[in-house]
Amino acid sequence: MEIWNNPACSKCATARATLDEARVPYRLRAYLEDPPGVAEFMEVLARLGARPWEVCRIHEPAAQELGLADWPRDETSESRWVEAMVAHPELIQRPILLLDDGGALVGRSAEVLRAAVDRSVED
């Protein structure tokens, strides 16, 4: 499993602690320093089954500066969202858990973290 991690984020810390407690191995990716490219982020969105605006931190200063709250949320606008989020990785919701089974989850709740542990134990 790979965790897209921001060390300053409490939700990322909770995800790491939950996985550590369950002894689930993982790799950390400091995605703010090593941001995904467009193709990689599109692949992660597909693994999440999400549209870019569904995993966008819309209240971040960069989102405010770009006016993301007013951007259309439709198929024709997806590439614009992806390009903005790749250019400003702080807009990507965290932590993103890339599971070894090919799936992905946004690990912000205890329920999602339990599901990640369960899916990792089943492997």
Residue 9 annotated among the catalytic residues of the structure:
yes
Catalytic annotation, pick one of 9, 50, 84, 117: 9
What DSSP line would sit under the chain, residue for residue? -EEEE-TT-HHHHHHHHHHHHTT---EEEETTTS---HHHHHHHHHHHT--GGGGB-TTSHHHHHHTGGGS--SGGGHHHHHHHHHHSGGGB-S-EEE-TTS-EEE--SHHHHHHHHHHHHH-
Residue positions annotated with a catalytic role: 9
